[in-house]
Amino acid sequence: MAALIAAMIELQTQLIFPTHAVAPAGPLPEGSERLELRTADGEILRGVHIGPAGSVPGSGTLIIGFGGNAWNAENAAELLHHLYPQADVITFHYRGYSPSTGAPSAKALLADAPLVYDNAVERVRPARIVAVGFSIGTGVAASLARQRKVDGLILVTPFDSLKAVAQSLYPWLPVGPFFRHEIDAARALKGVRAPVAIVTAGRDEIVPAARTDALRSQVPNLVFDRTIQAAGHNDIYTRPEFEGAMREALNRLKA
């Protein structure tokens, strides 16, 4: 057991942040702009800005996206642009995810999110700011809402505590005392008055329903809550109901 615990401590960063598993990005829409910012400790974060589609009038809304733990940020941007073609969309590769530099950790992701926000807002100067998080990115978005002003949050397959999710996946291991990458989304959202929309997968095999339920109970202003019953954690994005749920979520935030 001691050897197993030692291996868990050593490997958990690779399991939580599988940078080796990130898929290559697809083509970006014409006119997309690549971005770069430097952190206080000298790392470089790289991202992308996709403006409103050419034939669609801009809405004055900025969507700041935070992808899952094996996502390519450019693919996240393209998905958000497809869902919200009237908005400006900005995403950044997490620290340690090429072409960003550094090493990934929960602490780093949470610390970098306000830098991404400040850079995005300065660039676009929007009338409305919405943070959208997917999977582990929901915790980053929740943390951001506690540190910066947002006009709404859309959380897809969210959780209350990353440590609690890890414990549910490995119930036979003493995860708690050895967990290095806690993201406490429920605590972050306490007292946040911005409207929140939640979209979940009915057959989520990664984030148990109990973990999302625990988050819901801490959201002061939940304005939209949709479960796509047949969806799993990773295939929710391919379900025909997903696009409609995401667009309705944004509309509810604006109401």
Hey, which residues does 64 pair with through a beta bridge? 90, 131
184 near 13, Cβ under 8 Å? no
Q: At what angle do helices 136-147 and 106-124 cross, to 10 degrees?
A: 60
| Tokens representing residue 108 in the block | 């780093």
- Bond preceding residue 99 cis, omega within 30 of 0: yes
* Coil vs helix vs strand at 152: strand
Q: What is the DSSP letter of 188?
A: H
Provide the whole-model pTM: 0.94
Hey, which residues does 62 pair with through a beta bridge? 88, 129
Helix or strand (DSSP H, E) at 246: helix 240-254
Q: pLDDT digit of tens for each residue in the chain (255 aa)?
A: 555 555 666 678 888 999 999 999 988 998 899 999 999 999 999 999 999 998 667 779 999 999 999 999 999 999 999 999 999 999 999 999 999 999 999 999 999 999 999 999 999 999 999 999 999 999 999 999 999 999 999 999 999 999 999 888 777 666 667 778 999 999 999 989 999 999 999 999 999 999 999 999 999 999 999 999 999 999 999 999 999 999 999 999 987
Hey, which residues does 36 pair with through a beta bridge? 46
d(CA 222, CA 245): 15
Domain range summary for the chain, segments of one domain joined by +: 2-21+31-189+204-216
d(CA 100, CA 76): 15
- Identify the CA nearest to 154 among candidates 171, 172, 126, 131: 131
Report domain 2-21+31-189+204-216's class. alpha beta
